[in-house]
Homo-oligomer: A and B are copies of this chain.
Amino acid sequence: MIEPKILKGFRDSLPKAETYKQTLIDTIKNTFRLNGFSPIDTPALEYSDILLGKGGGETDKQVFRFKDNGDRDIALRFDHTVPLARFSALNYENLVFPLKCYQISKVWRGEKPQKGRFREFTQCDFDILGSDSIYSDFQVLFLIYKCFKNLNVDNFKIHISHRGLLNEYLKTKNIANDDNEILKILDKLKKIGIDKVKESLYQTGLSEMDVNSILDFISVKDINELINLIGMENEYLSLLNDVFDQIKLLNLSDYFVLDTSITRGLDYYTGIVFETFLSGVEFMGSVCSGGRYDNLSSLYINKKISGVGGSIGLDRLISALTELKKCSFDNIKSADFLITNQKWAFKLLDLLNKNNISSDIYCGNKSLGHQFAYAQQLSIPFVVFSYSEEKDKYSIKNIKKMEIYDDISFDFILGLSNDKT
């Protein structure tokens, strides 16, 4: 016998939990579709040099990389953005730009498993390629808002900044330190808190005045404060201004906030950047992040394909909703009806199917009592357990109310399926 163990950081998903997850995915997919985004698919495995082309040292260490039987150096994708850039370069001639696309599937990272972090997880990516227009930046932000609304997650805030702002600010303040180093420290603010950020900034050798300047910058709360602080208009500010104008126009100010501490660690961002937090569990990290990455495709093609997009981390979202006690799947039913193990079962199943009503047939030899218990465990509300061909009538048990309905017509069964009792 082989021990049925599973790899650390990997998980099985059981029927009720997976049904819940699939419901979220269906909602997200439908939102993407309603907003004009089409699905694409790329391979899970790619040549390593494609995936790691612009990766930093961190990513390299985390990737599942190996030689295949043909001695090719290959790896499992660790995100969808890099494969998308490769995809857009390889299929350039067969794509219509601006390309609005989405991909919902697994990615793999060998990072240390911890709460809400796994080695295999589902990313829901949405991107617009081939457009510099602010319409694409705003469309991406609007899409995030629509997704969370449609998921009935109400207490969310999308934090927005622009990757170029900090550099601009450091320049005006004559702070000559390494921008990227500062940027990476600020990126950790929500995880480690303001005191540790301060400490880390001092450790880079910055003066007290410079550290305070940086803290002033990241504590800015709206566009006007930011204009006051930077003391001049620039293209980044004007872009953010236009975005917040659209937000106001659509009455969405409750869901968006300027947050200059958002920088996104990854090298490839070049413009607007955003993260999404659920109120009360901000410490769990962003559940939907992204931004503009205008130079990524140029790694693979001698053409500029601007990109802006984001990704919903579905597993982290489910962890966050669980933490908020907003995720319950114990009562998800596997079907509307259970039909007991009788010869006429498949005829009734077929009739119910044709009326778009789901129905399970008990596929064992156990007693009727056992079959009722099975229905209860699977949260199936009704069991059809007897049929008189002569009368064309059924007998049904309502599992929750513990009631028996005799001499029931098929039409009555159709009605029951809409009954939430």
Contacts and interface: CB of A to CB of B under 8 A. Distances in A.
Interface of A: 1-7, 10-16, 18-19, 21-22, 29, 33-47, 49-50, 53, 61, 64, 66-69, 72, 74, 76, 86-87, 89-91, 94-101, 106, 108, 110, 120, 128, 130-133, 135-136, 138-139, 142, 146, 246, 249-250, 298-302, 334-335, 338, 341, 343, 345-347, 349-350, 352-353, 356-365, 374, 377-378
A133 B334 contact: no
A360 B35 CA distance: 6
- Looking at chain A's contact residues, the main secondary structure is mixed
Contact of A38 (B18, B350, B362): B18
A10 B43 contact: yes
A211 B31 CA distance: 61
Given A4-B301, A47-B5, A345 B135 contact: yes
B357 A14 contact: no
B40 A90 contact: no
A133 B341 CA distance: 9
Contacts of A1: 298-302
Contact of A249 (B21, B138, B343): B343
18 contacts: A2-B50, A4-B86, A6-B46, A6-B90, A7-B47, A10-B45, A14-B91, A18-B38, A34-B353, A35-B349, A38-B334, A64-B68, A96-B374, A96-B377, A97-B364, A130-B364, A131-B363, A131-B364
Nearest to A150: B353
A11 B364 CA distance: 42
Given A44-B44, A364-B98, A49 B14 contact: no
List the 6 shortest-distance A-B pairs measured between CB atoms, nearest first: A36-B360, A66-B66, A15-B38, A13-B41, A4-B300, A10-B43
Given A14-B94, A22-B39, A350-B250, A135 B300 contact: no
A18 B44 contact: no
A45 B3 contact: no
A37 B69 CA distance: 37
Given A18-B39, A347-B250, A100 B47 contact: no
